[in-house]
């Protein structure tokens, strides 16, 4: 099934985790992809995977810091121009850190917002002209189950994800008449580099985390689980889905 034949897709966070899995999935379905990440070594791993799948000729990678406006304008903007347009944007880049809220520094808080929320805004703003030009562009943003369900020690992270959901709803309505769709995925109980070490406080009360276990399967699912849903949402199969979020957590919060 090549739902992305002839389609151009930008994936941030494409050097690891769900972003990397999304790059692989869209390439497998015929798409042309730009993968952006702040870590060059991760992008090299993504390129190697693409070459092994005989899809390396449809992948371009760029190093970009999504929290930095000048980096987004030069690296992301340049990549979109090189593509000659854009059909879909997947804002998968983000960071997860934990702390006692009472001990959270302003620097910690601001860094979370800068990468997760401001970064999503900056990349989306840069991509919007190209997405609107084709009349049926798609933005897939990354929320989290933490935006609507309690995740202790993750107040800053949860705040960024709640902001991303609200941002997504706003642009979905603002640009609907111009053919743009905007939707969030809200992953939970997904195994990735981000979730393997969230930096919980040494004295964390793990009984507070007891609810964070999936109801189906044998534990956390792999990032490809989310990538498949993203591929649906960004393709014509998701043509009537916009202004909402889709929780992907194996029933953790059912």
- d(C-alpha 66, C-alpha 12), whole Å: 8
- Per DSSP, which regions of 92-217 are E strands? 138-142, 181-187
Catalytic residue status for 153 = no
**Phi, psi torsion values for 232, nearest 5 degrees:** -65, -50
- d(C-alpha 182, C-alpha 165), whole Å: 10
Given 121, 157, 175, 220, the catalytic residue: 157
Tokens of 49: 């995977």
Please report which residue ranges of 14-115 form alpha helices under DSSP H: 17-28, 40-52, 69-71, 77-83, 106-112
- d(C-alpha 23, C-alpha 5), whole Å: 14
**Residue in the structure block whose two tokens are 């992270």:** 157
- d(C-alpha 45, C-alpha 4), whole Å: 22
Q: In 3-state terms, what secondary structure has residue 22?
A: helix
Q: In 3-state terms, what secondary structure has residue 179?
A: coil
Tokens of 106: 């302003």
- d(C-alpha 180, C-alpha 188), whole Å: 26
Catalytically active residues are 157
């Amino acid at each position: 099934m090549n739902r992305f034949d002839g389609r151009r897709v930008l994936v941030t966070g494409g050097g690891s985790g769900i972003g990397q899995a999304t790059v692989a999935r869209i390439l497998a379905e015929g798409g042309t992809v730009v993968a952006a990440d702040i870590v060059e070594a991760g992008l090299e791993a993504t390129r190697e995977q693409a070459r092994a799948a005989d899809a390396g000729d449809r992948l371009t990678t760029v190093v970009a810091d999504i929290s930095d406006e000048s980096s987004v304008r030069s690296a992301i903007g340049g990549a979109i121009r090189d593509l000659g347009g854009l059909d879909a944007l997947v804002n998968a880049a983000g960071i997860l850190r934990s702390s006692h809220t009472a001990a959270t520094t302003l620097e910690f808080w601001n860094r979370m917002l800068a990468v997760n929320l401001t970064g999503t805004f900056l990349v989306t703003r840069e991509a919007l002209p190209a997405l609107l030009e084709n009349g049926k562009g798609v933005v897939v943003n990354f929320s989290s189950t933490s935006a609507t369900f309690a995740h202790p020690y993750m107040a800053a992270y949860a705040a960024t994800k709640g902001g991303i959901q609200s941002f997504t709803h706003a642009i979905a309505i603002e640009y609907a008449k111009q053919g743009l769709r905007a939707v969030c995925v809200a992953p939970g109980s997904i195994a990735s580099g981000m979730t393997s070490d969230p930096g919980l406080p040494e004295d964390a009360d793990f009984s507070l985390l007891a609810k964070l276990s999936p109801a189906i399967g044998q534990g956390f699912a792999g990032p490809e689980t989310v990538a498949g849903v993203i591929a649906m949402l960004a393709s014509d199969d998701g043509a009537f889905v916009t202004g909402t979020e889709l929780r992907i957590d194996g029933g953790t919060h059912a």
